[in-house]
Amino acid sequence: MDMLKKIFPLSFGVKDLGNLIVKVLIYLVVGIIAGVAIGILAAIPVINLVTGIAGTLVDLYCVAGIVIAILDYLKILK
């Protein structure tokens, strides 16, 4: 659990629904901004593979952060 708190510090400490919505929106905005930046860099053929891998990792991080925030709000994680 401590390792999850170090990797996903934004996902923990959800107290009410408004706080949960703000945290989910932050993850979505970060994912969108990273997706746009990676989409622009993907036009360069040399770094296309690297940006594809980075995009996948950013998307996975955002989805995992949202799931952990929801689980913390529902008090499933201790």
Q: Is the pTM of this model over 0.75?
A: yes
* CA–CA gap between residue 59 and residue 64 (Å, rounded): 9
Tokens of 19: 């706080």
pLDDT tens digit sequence for 40-67: 888 888 888 888 899 899 999 999 999 9
- Nearest one of 67, 62, 7 to 32, comparing CA atoms: 62
Q: What percent of the chain has pLDDT over 90?
A: 56
pLDDT band at 33; cut points 50, 70, 90: very high
